[in-house]
Amino acid sequence: MDPSIIDAILHHHQMAYLLLNAQWSILATAGTQYIEHCGLNLTPGSILLDALPELRDCITQLEAVHNGVSPEFTLEHLSRTSPQGNIVYFRIQIQAYHRRDDPAPQFLALITDTTEQSQQSKRVAQYQETVQQLHNTIEQRTTALLLANSQLRRMDEIKTDFITIAAHELRNPLTPILGYVELLLSDEYGPLNAEQRHAIQATLQNVLRLRSITADLLDLARIETGRIELVLRPTDLRTLVELQCLKYKAQLASRNQQLTFIAHALPLTLCDEHRAAQIIGHLLSNASKYTPDGGAITIRIEPGDAGFAQVVVEDTGMGITKDDQQHLFNAFFRAHTVTTPRTGGTGLGLHIARLLIELHGGQIWFHSTPGAGSTFYVSFIVSDELNHQSHDLSMVTITQ
């Protein structure tokens, strides 16, 4: 076959052959086009180790092939710059070659192009290095986050401890103060004139408000530290809501707010009476604060999702802005639509209500349109132990 045809075939397959003697001198070549493409100087008479000095580091392996100890030796990931300026990767495989007409030891070297595989391996190696760097970065940031979380937990514990101590220290003197104020109002220390009575009544209101604040702070600390216990019993939700309506009757009347109570007769619910009353009280107080004088508040008890009864508190207040809605149940958050400067509070009411209702296994949610009022919903689990009552509807207007 014409040597040029063989050379073209070898170039097409990106390979070349070398015939070597025992001194690694090149006796003949095939595939010169590919040899030139690799930028190699492999011509008959030249020494292979001079053209590929990388082989000098592999003398031991070459001697093993030379002495017949190993059948072949392969050196991977060799590279050269082609005449066109491209990096070409290849491998060389050397093995013994025996000719019947020539007893002198000879060797055959096969040069095969591995540019595509080597580039792929290089990309894989770079990818693995990038992945390792990302892994290291993630580990570092995870460690930093764990440390930061640990510090935050410690700070939160310190904050909770401080709140507990501060609330106790504030509450302790309130009991005797409240007692003396009530004695003064009952004329135990003599009759009061109108101006004195008004001042002492104002003092009483502020003492009660401070007691309410300290109670909220202590409840928050107990819930956050898991020190709160619920005594769940079958409870008449209607009676519980009615008592809360009566409790807030004076507050609502002072602002000429009308409260309407609508109740379906439902099975008893499973709840802690004290904490359930606290949840409903927070909703009523919140509705009153954010409803203008002369406004209306409606509270309903109705069936909820399967296995639940729900209390609905609806007001005709100013509503809640979109920006405030996402923060409404956060601790210490107060919306910016308070209708009168005299409204106070810590911003804990709805936050505590959410925590307490979740401890009951229920939920709290709301719908609000700025300028059109708000409606809050809380759901309680229906007790399985009690008989189901009829769903007669009753309506009571508490204040007018």
pTM of this prediction? 0.58
pLDDT tens, position by position, for the chain (400 residues)? 567 777 778 877 889 999 999 999 999 999 989 999 898 999 999 999 999 999 999 999 999 999 999 999 999 989 999 999 999 999 999 999 987 777 888 999 999 999 998 888 888 999 999 999 999 999 999 999 999 999 988 887 887 788 778 777 878 888 899 898 999 998 888 899 999 999 999 998 888 888 888 888 888 888 888 888 889 999 999 999 999 999 999 889 989 999 999 988 888 999 999 999 999 999 999 899 889 999 999 999 999 999 999 999 999 998 988 888 888 888 888 776 544 444 556 788 899 999 999 999 999 999 998 888 999 999 999 987 444 443 344 444 444 3
The CATH code that applies to domain 3-113 is 3.30.450.20
Pairwise CA distance, residues 145 & 148, whole Å: 5
- The answer to whether the CB of 377 falls within 8 A of the CB of 299 is no
DSSP one-letter string for 205-257? HHHHHHHHHHHHHHHHHHHHTT------EEE-HHHHHHHHHHHTHHHHHTTT-
Domain edges within the chain: 3-113, 121-224, 233-399
Q: Which homologous superfamily is 233-399 in?
A: Histidine kinase-like ATPase, C-terminal domain (3.30.565.10)
Pairwise CA distance, residues 41 & 55, whole Å: 15
CATH 1.10.287 assigned to domain 121-224? The reply is yes
Question: Parallel, antiparallel, or unpaired for β 87-99 and 72-81?
Answer: antiparallel
